[in-house]
Amino acid sequence: MPQNVFHDDALFARASLPHIRAISAYQPGKPITELAREFGLAVESIVKLASNENPLGMSPKAKAAIRAAVDGGERYPDPFDLTAALAARHGVATNQIVLGNGSNDVLDLVARAFLYRGRSAIAAQYAFAMYPIATLSAGGETIIAPAKDYGHDLAAMRAAMRADTHVIWIANPNNPTGAFLAAEALRAFLADAPEHVIVVLDEAYADYLDAGERYDAVRWIDDFPHLVVCRTFSKIYGMAGLRIGYGIAAAPVAELMNRVRQPFNCNSLALAGAIAALEDHDFLARSYASNRAGMAYIREGLEALGLRYIPARGNFIAFRAAEEGGTAAAIHQGLLRQGVIVRPLASYQMPEWLRVTIGAPAENTRFLEALGRAMQESGA
């Protein structure tokens, strides 16, 4: 904290807003460069499996499109082409698409368009940390509904609904636990939720689902105009650093969200890359297959180490690295010392658990070896 800015805490309290002070800042996965500085490790020697990024990188077609878009960087971006491509892809009108600077931006737009002081939003225990942050930022109150098997308990969420509830946040699959809700349960929930309550279905990991589990929630918007479906280019598309995602909603809902959206919230490189990425089916198929194989390999490895994990959809898996009531901090540190970054879940009130992103084959092997060593060192 800088000295002598606010002369006492009371003045700072008076300057700031109580609902902003109540926010616990989002804790991102540790960047590779930060670990390199802290432990004096070479950047190339570090394996980062902490932020659910795509180990295959980005589509080569997206990269080429981004390089080409550098010329033209002096102009404000035109989101027309990506909006049209997404509308065509999902079979909706262009006025149903809301582009975001990452899908976190879309969550924020929902909060700003539909929440306010005196309104509440419901999120599930162990659900994505951005939901309470977006809710509080807009002045709303977050109601946390208890989880079932580390996933959303839709009955508990329905029961938690109050007269002032205006938004319901649902991640499917959920991050960080990987829990999944089947389409029928979601549809029944939507049918039961009052129409003035916006239901956000955050599908950041939908592209990793098995064919048998996939569903097309966008088709439900006609029946349920209070549904907002969120997608991102950060995960299977491998464009986390470019920051681009989107929401799909009924036109009047999308229109309100677009009113509070900054006009140029998506930059021209991300827009160009996303259009090309959408068409690179080969890259998506390779990413999917690599994730599937890596998930099976890591599950086997965790089982061989005698560790419990939550059966996960997505490109990550949460495993218990400490006894009930203990903390995974020692194992986490042991992994960091060996240059392997995973995600501790203490901030999700799951202190015994760590979450690892499915990496490339060599990264997965490195992770399991380092985990075995960290467990030995900690006497586990």
Ligand X SMILES: *Cc1c(COP(=O)(O)O)cnc(C)c1O
Q: Which residues bind ligand X (CB under 6 A)?
A: 52, 102-104, 128, 171, 175, 202, 204, 232, 234-235, 240, 245
Q: Which is nearer to ligand X, 140 or 245 (CB)?
A: 245
Cross-strand bridge partners of residue 144:
123
**Distance of alpha carbon 56 from alpha carbon 316, whole angstroms:** 15
CB of 107 to ligand X, least distance (A): 7
Task: Measure Cα distances from 247 to 12, 105, 109, 138, 306 in Å.
Answer: 37, 10, 10, 18, 40
Residue 102 or residue 294: which is nearer to ligand X going by CB?
Answer: 102
Q: Are 247 and 103 in contact (CB under 8 A)?
A: yes
Residue 209 identity: L
> Nearer to ligand X by C-beta: 202 or 280?
202
Taking the least distance from each CB to ligand X, the nearer of 96 and 234 is: 234
Ranked by CB distance to ligand X, the top (closest) residue is 102
Q: Return the number of the residue (204 or 371) whose C-beta is nearest ligand X.
A: 204
As measured in angstroms, the least distance from the Cβ of 123 to ligand X is: 11
- CB of residue 92 to ligand X, shortest distance in Å: 19
Helix and strand numbers, DSSP H then E, in the chain: 14, 12
> 3-class DSSP state for residue 311?
coil
Distance of closest approach, residue 75 Cβ to ligand X, in angstroms: 24
Nearest approach in angstroms of CB 175 to ligand X is 3
Enumerate the H helices of the chain as residue ranges.
9-15, 18-21, 32-39, 60-70, 80-90, 103-114, 130-137, 154-160, 183-192, 251-260, 268-279, 281-304, 329-337, 361-377
